[in-house]
Structure 1
Amino acid sequence: MKATKADSMKSVRSNKSVRSAKSLKNMSSDILEDQQPSFEECLPMVCRKYSCPFSIFVKKDYQHDDFYKQLKAPEESVKYKKITVTTPLPNSATFQGDFMRPDDRTTATSASEMSFDEDAIFITTYYDNVNNLTEIYLAKIRPVPRSLMQIIGYLAPSYEYLTKITLYACNIDSLVIHELSKILPKTAITDVCLDGSPVPEGNYFNLLDHNETRIKYLSLCRCKINDEVCKEIASRLHYLCPAERTLLLLNLSSNHITDEGAKCLGQALRTNRHLRYLNLADNHIGDDGADFIFDSLIEFRLTYDETMKKRKRRLEYLKAKRSFLMKFLAECDATKESDEYSQFSRKSGTKKKKTSVTSLKNKGFKKDISKKDKLISGEDGLLRAELFANELLGPFIDPFSPLNTVLRDGYSHCTGNMVLCYLNLSYNRLAYPSMKKLVALLQYQKLIKRPTQSGLVKVGIEGNCIPVSCVEYQKINDLTRLAKSAHNISGRMSITGLKSRSRQARISLVPQPSSGRN
């Protein structure tokens, strides 16, 4: 008895020690998580570890468009810590505030009194109201070292709320773009802004090539983009391209794009069904280039290549659906054979028993079940397989699906791109004919628009070679105002429709037995 008591005491102590060890482990993990260094501490630390030939100077700031911050008084917003210095800076030079945004330079009075190294690199990090890193902002760094982008790519995946990276007025090259393209698939970054950062090689299209890219907003304002670079970017926006599924906003304003580049963008808009915002302001686009873009937004005739590609996509969809149906039916047959084999083994291995009323009832119930199984294995089984295939594969979605095409004069015509909402062609070389075609475009979209489609809601045409006051101006304003109001109403109706549908019971995929009614 003494031995058993001692063993029990040891087991209790061991359990207590295990529990205490687990609790200490949990506490240590919580402490480590709480003591995890911020991005402002990690970046200079890693740069020192790899002996980078530059000093890092990081400024921490909060988003100015934060709703909760706007509710606070202006005096409280100034109390945030503006700058964090983590590396010693031997040389002294007056700080001009180049690494800040233009609208933030007036608020950093305490930062302008400090002195920094001439080779220092200034980075701004923006946080939300919950102290989560959301943006990395680099401004006027000449040049941007490739090693710095590699280090940022090493640290960025650890911050799940980081969604934006900005390189404003920086001197970058193709290697920096290459490193940035490697960062995007590993992180949650969806917004890339390279305004005022021209690349001599013009390989911006590398940002749109990766299959796992999540990029939604791409701004390339004042990047000296010509028609060749615009053609490469437009080729990544065609249907089934990686960027076509994700990119919503494309800003190409203040560049050197002419009618040739606009033609490539118009060809991409024929099949693109995700891009909502296209800014081509302050370029060299004339009436011909605008016509290429407008022609993709109204009804157009499908070319031979577009028709063959549509048939190929349809055939691939049907092949995938057929393979799924065959696999599903084969699995059903295999399960049926296994059930029959198990029933046969049970019948052969069991002895005959006396019959009773309850046993006869059970046999009748089993016969009914076998009849239902036979019904399901026939035409109902095929119907069930088709329902499962439609559930998994979904309907055939294509820019030239039967819902978006009409047959006229023996040829297929597409109803046009009804997804693009915002188009900015301000400060180009448009003339009066483009105004007339734009009015016809807006009237056409108003007639054929379905409740789930938006069409053009806002169009920018100021600053062109067009009359200051004309009837077309008023028509364009009226049509865009009506399109915007209709879009808002349809959006509300779709939301309420989704709420009402969610309350309804889901349709069962298993076919129900017929009730005998015609």
Structure 2
Amino acid sequence: MEILEMPIVSLRHPGITASGMFDEMESLTPSDVSSAPPLKDQISFFRPSVQLELENEDPKSAKALYIRGWMIDTRYIFIFQKCLPALSSLHSINLWNVGLTGSTFAALLVILRQCYSLRSVVLDGNPIAGHPYYQLLSEDSPFQNLTLRNNKIDDAGAKLIGEALSTIKKSNKTLMTLNLSFNHITDVGAGYIADGLRLNRTLVWLSLASNQIGDQGATKLAEVLAPFALTHGEIVERRILLYNSQDRQNSPSLFRRPDSKSDRSASQIGSNTALDKLDKTGKGTKGTSKKKEKRDPVVPEKLLSNTQIQQKKDEARTGRKGSLVTDVRLSRSKMSRLGKDKRVMTQEQEVPEFLNPLVDFVEHQNGDIYLSGNITLMSINLTRNKITEVGLRAFHTAVQTQIQNARLSSDGRATSGLLRLAISRNLFPGTCETYTQLQKLMLARDPVSRQRMVCSPSPGHHDPQTQS
């Protein structure tokens, strides 16, 4: 392998934003524009370069890698394989216009999965035949932020991404932000993305700016935010999940403490009084030995004494034998021998127990089963598309429904649901009543800037984006 020209690795310019992406122009305030880097620095920003962000002076403490305009082929993939997994603090990688192909993308994906602290991946300006980007959204993917701008993603690619977000059988549980702006997604592709948002409960920020989405696609995206009717396949899957859950609860187990007397088996009725006394006094395990022994074989509960039954219950609560806590500790010891303690601790802290949204509370209306809408998604960017007042009304209705449901909710989550809607530079007139009403609703819900106009008319009208 011969590399005739080695790229010069330099420290990243301090004037560039930490996210490595240019902010949307409509979201910039005058103070932001005045603090932008000079024009000379902006031009040099797009020149082929390799830049690093370091936590300290140690080169191995790189936390972000930026490669722009430098063509990456199999030779550099080999270098990445040797270097990137060794950077234990690397949490962000930005590859802009590096000429990725199907083969280099597949090899790069294997390397990125070995970077256990990596959370943000930016692959802007890398159109690839077949649109394999959905592989970054697999069910076991650790990435939280993904940017795929200007990759010529069409409706076929949007379908793959939508299926990666969620289906009735699986769902992505880690991705929080997804940027699909400057692509070729139409109403059909927006419908696929909306289908992926039906059962996805982790994505909080979505950008579909500068695409070809009209009223049909905007309506489908808005319908996901409010309660929607389940399809036949979703109803069947819901019944299967409920049946399996009820079957597990009703199955006898030595380590499951009965919740009520009706839950207890007939063989335990004779010892109910003794068990209750042991629970109140807490003296059931006084005479038991504390010495660790091998796991006892499964014995029918009716053959165990009261003291043995109480010991089994204590072990289930404390996790000393056969519990999930023990399994986690064993897996941690195994990973430590492989030098992956950091990855295990991160997964234990960040990955909560996943509950399928299909088992949530539903309502029956006119023979249909309605599931509560997606209130996890808090920000949508649909600027520079082909949306008219029809699509605008769909979002207005969805936001109103979320506000009403939040006020009636028992847990008091008054700010749940969509908090920011960027829908500027579309085809609706700025004088329409729906625009004015939606603008008031979103300005009251936007926690970042209540003075910013979140909706704006078409380019032909005055657009007061920034008001002091």
Among 205, 209, 213, the residue aligned to 1:281: 209
SS at match of 2:99: coil
Which one has the largest radius of gyration? 1
Alpha carbons of 1:368 and 1:270: their partners in 2 closer, same or farther (altered >3 Å)? closer
Contact 2:241 2:359 survives alignment (8 Å): no
Alpha-carbon RMSD across the aligned residues, in angstroms, is 4.1
State the 1:407 CA deviation: 2.6
After TM superposition, the structure 1 = structure 2 runs for residues 358-369 of structure 1, keeping only pairs within 5 Å, are: none
Q: Paired residue for 1:446?
A: 403
Q: Paired residue for 2:274?
A: none
Deviations 1:114-152 (A, max 9, x none): xxxxxx9731112236763111111112x3212212321
> Could you tell me how far apart the structure 2 residues matched to 1:241 and 1:366 are?
46
SS at match of 1:244: coil
State the 1:377 CA deviation: 6.8
Equivalent pairs, count? 358
Q: Paired residue for 2:332?
A: none
> Could you tell me how far apart the structure 2 residues matched to 1:168 and 1:288 are?
32
Among 136, 140, 145, the residue aligned to 2:69: 140
> Could you tell me how far apart the structure 1 residues matched to 2:214 and 2:100 are?
31
Contact 2:53 2:64 survives alignment (8 Å): yes
Q: Paired residue for 2:78?
A: 150
TM-score (norm 2): 0.66
Contact 2:134 2:160 survives alignment (8 Å): yes
Contact 2:285 2:310 survives alignment (8 Å): no
Alpha carbons of 1:200 and 1:382: their partners in 2 closer, same or farther (altered >3 Å)? same
> Could you tell me how far apart the structure 2 residues matched to 1:368 and 1:213 are?
44
Among 360, 363, 369, the residue aligned to 1:412: 369
Q: Which amino acid aligns with 1:147?
A: R
Alpha carbons of 1:395 and 1:145: their partners in 2 closer, same or farther (altered >3 Å)? closer
> Could you tell me how far apart the structure 2 residues matched to 1:223 and 1:366 are?
67
> Could you tell me how far apart the structure 2 residues matched to 1:150 and 1:245 are?
30
SS at match of 1:400: helix
Q: Paired residue for 1:224?
A: 152
Contact 2:255 2:313 survives alignment (8 Å): no
> Could you tell me how far apart the structure 1 residues matched to 2:218 and 2:13 are?
41
> Could you tell me how far apart the structure 1 residues matched to 2:315 and 2:214 are?
56
1:201 aligns with 2:96: no
Q: Paired residue for 1:465?
A: 427
**Greater relative contact order structure (CA < 8 Å, 6+ sep):** 2
Alpha carbons of 1:475 and 1:62: their partners in 2 closer, same or farther (altered >3 Å)? same
> Could you tell me how far apart the structure 2 residues matched to 1:125 and 1:396 are?
35
Among 255, 259, 263, the residue aligned to 2:183: 255
Among 399, 406, 411, the residue aligned to 2:357: 399
1:233 aligns with 2:161: yes
Alpha carbons of 1:242 and 1:149: their partners in 2 closer, same or farther (altered >3 Å)? farther
Alpha carbons of 1:486 and 1:146: their partners in 2 closer, same or farther (altered >3 Å)? closer
Alpha carbons of 1:108 and 1:206: their partners in 2 closer, same or farther (altered >3 Å)? closer
> Could you tell me how far apart the structure 2 residues matched to 1:407 and 1:60 are?
59
SS at match of 2:172: helix
SS at match of 1:314: helix
Deviations 1:46-81 (A, max 9, x none): xxxx533442321123655799xxxxxxxxxxxxxx
State the 1:430 CA deviation: 0.8
After TM superposition, the structure 1 = structure 2 runs for residues 313-462 of structure 1, keeping only pairs within 5 Å, are: 313-318=241-246, 326=253, 328=255, 397-403=355-361, 405-449=362-406, 450=409, 451-452=412-413, 454-462=416-424
Gaps in structure 1 of 5+ consecutive residues: 1-49, 68-101, 113-119, 331-364, 489-518
Q: Which amino acid aligns with 2:92?
A: K
> Could you tell me how far apart the structure 2 residues matched to 1:236 and 1:189 are?
19
1:124 aligns with 2:39: no
After TM superposition, the structure 1 = structure 2 runs for residues 59-98 of structure 1, keeping only pairs within 5 Å, are: 59-61=10-12, 64=15
Q: More deviation in 58-67 or 431-440?
A: 58-67
Alpha carbons of 1:487 and 1:309: their partners in 2 closer, same or farther (altered >3 Å)? farther
State the 1:425 CA deviation: 1.1
Contact 1:197 1:223 survives alignment (8 Å): yes
SS at match of 2:152: coil
Q: Paired residue for 1:482?
A: 444
SS at match of 2:8: strand
Deviations 1:276-331 (A, max 9, x none): 111111111111111111111111111110011122233444555667x625379x
SS at match of 1:459: strand
Q: Which amino acid aligns with 2:50?
A: I
Alpha carbons of 1:309 and 1:479: their partners in 2 closer, same or farther (altered >3 Å)? same
Q: Paired residue for 1:342?
A: none
The percent of aligned pairs where both chains have the same amino acid is 24
Alpha carbons of 1:152 and 1:282: their partners in 2 closer, same or farther (altered >3 Å)? same
SS at match of 2:255: helix
Contact 1:137 1:166 survives alignment (8 Å): yes
Contact 1:138 1:168 survives alignment (8 Å): yes
State the 1:164 CA deviation: 1.0
Contact 1:66 1:129 survives alignment (8 Å): no
1:189 aligns with 2:118: yes
Structure number with higher helix proportion: 1
Alpha carbons of 1:274 and 1:241: their partners in 2 closer, same or farther (altered >3 Å)? farther
Deviations 1:421-450 (A, max 9, x none): 011111111111112221111111001124
Q: Which amino acid aligns with 2:401?
A: Y
Deviations 1:476-498 (A, max 9, x none): 2221233235999xxxxxxxxxx
State the 1:251 CA deviation: 0.6
Q: Which amino acid aligns with 2:135?
A: N
TM-score (norm 1): 0.60
Among 153, 162, 166, the residue aligned to 2:94: 166
State the 1:374 CA deviation: 5.8
Alpha carbons of 1:448 and 1:129: their partners in 2 closer, same or farther (altered >3 Å)? farther
Gaps in structure 2 of 5+ consecutive residues: 19-35, 258-281, 288-303, 328-351, 451-468
Q: Paired residue for 2:200?
A: 272
